[in-house]
Amino acid sequence: MPNDEQIIICRCEDVTLSEIREALRDPSVRGMEDLKRILRVTMGPCAGRSCRELIMREIAKVRGSSVEEVAPTIFRPPTTPLRIDAVTRRTTDIPTEKGDGNAD
Ligand code: FES
């Protein structure tokens, strides 16, 4: 069975469960935004889509609260991945969750 140092929670930023637990031992680290600044979790290419829920569960476990009480990180635009040509083209064709927004 892998130990906490071998369990990678944030694959994009290569952050392990051990590092998250170590950071949460500091009482000044209150939640996701602090972990984001310290460890860069949720700041990788997936923008936390893979790791955010896992980290929120760990914070809830350590703090003795429910996951619903843990504030998620703030999403800043773009909230979905964009192709670079969608940004550089002058268009009103805004991508959505359902499609990539490219009409061509
Ligand atoms: S897995 Fe954490 S930002 Fe992608």
For the whole prediction, is pTM greater than 0.85? no
Q: Write the residue with the smallest CA distance to atom 1 of ligand 1.
A: 10
Domain containing 61 equals 8-88
Q: Does a structural domain hold residue 3?
A: no
* pLDDT tens digits, one per residue of 41-61: 999 998 898 999 999 999 999
Which one is predicted more confidently, 40 or 100? 40
Q: Are 54 and 9 in contact (CB under 8 A)?
A: yes
Q: Does a structural domain hold residue 33?
A: yes
Neighbours of 6 (CB within 10 A): 10
* DSSP classification of residue 27: T
Q: Does a structural domain hold residue 68?
A: yes
* DSSP classification of residue 68: G
Whether residue 30 has pLDDT greater than 50: yes
Cα 49 to averaged position of ligand 1 atoms, centre (Å): 6
Q: Does a structural domain hold residue 95?
A: no
Count of structural domains within the chain: 1
Per DSSP, helices labelled H in 40-83 are 52-63
Cα 29 to averaged position of ligand 1 atoms, centre (Å): 19
What mean pLDDT is reported for the chain? 86
